[in-house]
Amino acid sequence: MMRICFVCSGNICRSPSAEIVLRSLLVREGLTDEVEVCSAGIGDWHVGEGPDRRSASALSARGYDSSRHRARQWERDWFPDHDLVVAMDESHVRDLARMAGPAHIDKIRLFTSFGPDATHEDVPDPYYGGPDGFTHVLDVIEVGCRALLDDVRHRLPA
């Protein structure tokens, strides 16, 4: 089984949204027995909390259920258990790289680095803005998760 973890700052906006969207795609494609997905934050500010209400609202408006999400913090010793650690912005890539060491550095990828239309840009942090920022982030995440899913299909055994 391939294991993927999305990582953002506090695990209440971007990374849980990506986890929920990708999980939905995996269900639709019948790949839940082959790919496991989770999310975490770099910091511990929100551990145990549900998603930001604005993020939950944006997800709900598109038919996603975020009610079971609880924030958690990425732990250095999780690297061996994951095949891909997907960072939502470059600061997360740097933080994860410091934790990873040489054995796991190749597992870290920027979220927007997948697919033929890869931008290699940060997924913007909507936390300090209004609801429109969360809708925009969900747009970016839905596109990015489809590109990531195409990449995952190529990594899975035939």
- What is the reported pLDDT for 5? 98
The active-site residue, picked from 8, 13, 38, 145, is 8
The pTM (predicted TM-score) of the whole model is 0.97
Strand order in the sheet with 35-41: 35-41, 2-8, 84-87, 108-110
The CATH number, out of the four listed (1.10.3720.10, 3.40.50.300, 3.40.50.2000, 3.40.50.2300), of the domain defined by the range 2-155: 3.40.50.2300
**Residue 40 · residue 12 · CB < 8 Å:** no
- What is the reported pLDDT for 89? 98
Residue 8 among the catalytic residues? yes
Task: Give the C-alpha separation, 135 to 50, whole Å.
Answer: 18
The active-site residue, picked from 5, 13, 14, 23, is 14
Low-confidence ranges of the chain (pLDDT < 70): none
- What is the reported pLDDT for 144? 97
The active-site residue, picked from 3, 83, 109, 125, is 125
Residue 145 among the catalytic residues? no
Q: Quick: pLDDT tens for 99-112.
A: 998 999 999 999 99
